[in-house]
Amino acid sequence: MPQDERLIELISGSLDDALTSDEEAELEAALAASAEARQLAAELRQDRQALRGLPKLVTPESLKQSTLVKVRAAEPPVSSRPWQRVLLLAASMALVVGIFNTFRFSKATATTLYLSPGRLTMRTDSLSQELHLSAGGGTSSHTMVSENVSGEFLRGKTARVHLLGDAGAVPGGKLAVRLHFDFDGDGQVDLHSPSRVIEVDGTVGYQNLVCAFPPMEGMKDLRNGTVHLEIACETGPPLKLRLDPQQARVELPFAGLKAQAS
């Protein structure tokens, strides 16, 4: 980490009382040695006080009213839909058929989602695109989401992410990859995978990067749920990721993955 970045992170951490004793000593020494560093620390503290002084806001009455009108005109809440029982029955029948088919056919059904900017998709016909991530400014992370996706959890199987990355000729790049699951699509993430780090060496050109996740406790069937894939450039040089539909993909431990149009 360049000296400036290190100093900034130390000053920032000190504002949050988040430094270790070694880091505190390092910061004290840096502040004692540099008037510029002391000035920066004072300015960041002042900015922080200004942010903390931002006033509470009151919702304009017109917005409150118009929102209520929209909410009342919207579809009823999920649990009180009159046709929910019919859907539940249909879903149960589909589940029975699905389980029957799982046993009937030994061949695995779809378990893969493909990467595109902002989205995980079942489609493989999109054009290859590039993402640029940088730990030192600009976009440091990118999240791809697939909504309304269903699939039956396959016990004993694990998730695996395949990426195509290029960090130029600079070694030392580290990518952190995480998956997040909202199994029932209620808007709350039910399970976060551990963060897996992929090291990117200084090989020129795109290289295959693979990370395998360990078995995760709490995995369940996806029922119109949401899967998030988060890729963050933790350290090292700026990195290009090519979203090639044939090679950049997420293999998930779910059989019969199916995305429903939202």
Partner 1 sequence: MGQNSNFEDVYEEHADFVYSLSRRLSRGNADAEDLFQEVFLRVHRFLPKFQGGSVRGWLRRIVVNTNSSLKRGKKNQAVAHLDEMEGWKESIADSGETPDEAAERTSTREGLEHALAHLSEDFRTVLILREVEDLDYSEIAEVLNVPVGTVRSRLARARMALRKELEEATTIAAG
| 250 is a site residue for partner 1 (CB under 8 A) | no
Q: Which is nearer to partner 1, 45 or 99 (CB)?
A: 45
CB 119 → partner 1: shortest distance, Å?
Answer: 8
Rounded Cα gap, residues 64 and 109, in angstroms: 47
Contact 171, 246 (CB under 8 A): no
Residue 205 backbone dihedrals phi, psi, to 5 degrees? 95, 170
Report how far residue 224's alpha carbon sits from residue 110's, in angstroms, rounded to the nearest whole number. 16
Report yes or no: 228 and 143 within 8 Å, Cβ to Cβ. Answer: yes
**Closest-CA residue to 250 (of 225, 231, 232, 236):** 231
Q: Shortest gap between Cβ of 68 and partner 1 (angstroms)?
A: 7
Total residues in contact with partner 1, by rule CB under 8 A: 62
Check if the beta carbon of residue 175 is closer than 8 Å to that of residue 197.
yes
Among 25, 28, 36, 47, binds partner 1 (CB under 8 A): 47
Of the chain, the end-to-end C-alpha distance in Å amounts to 44
Q: Give the footprint of partner 1 on residues 81-110 (CB under 8 A).
A: none
What would the x/- binding string for partner 1 be over residues 153 to 192, using CB under 8 A?
-----------------------x-x-x---x-xxxx--x
Judged by CB under 8 A, the stretch of 5-13, 205-213, 237-245, 247-255 that binds partner 1 is 5-13
d(CA 116, CA 174): 21
Rounded distance, CA 74 to CA 77, Å? Answer: 9
Nearer to partner 1, 134 or 246 (CB): 134
DSSP three-state, residue 100: helix
Which of 80, 103, 104, 217 contacts partner 1 by CB under 8 A?
Answer: 80
- Rule CB under 8 A: which residues touch partner 1? 5, 8-9, 11-13, 15-16, 18, 40, 43-44, 47-48, 50-60, 63-64, 66-68, 70-71, 74-75, 77-80, 118, 135-141, 143, 145, 176, 178, 180, 184, 186-189, 192, 195, 228, 230, 232, 234
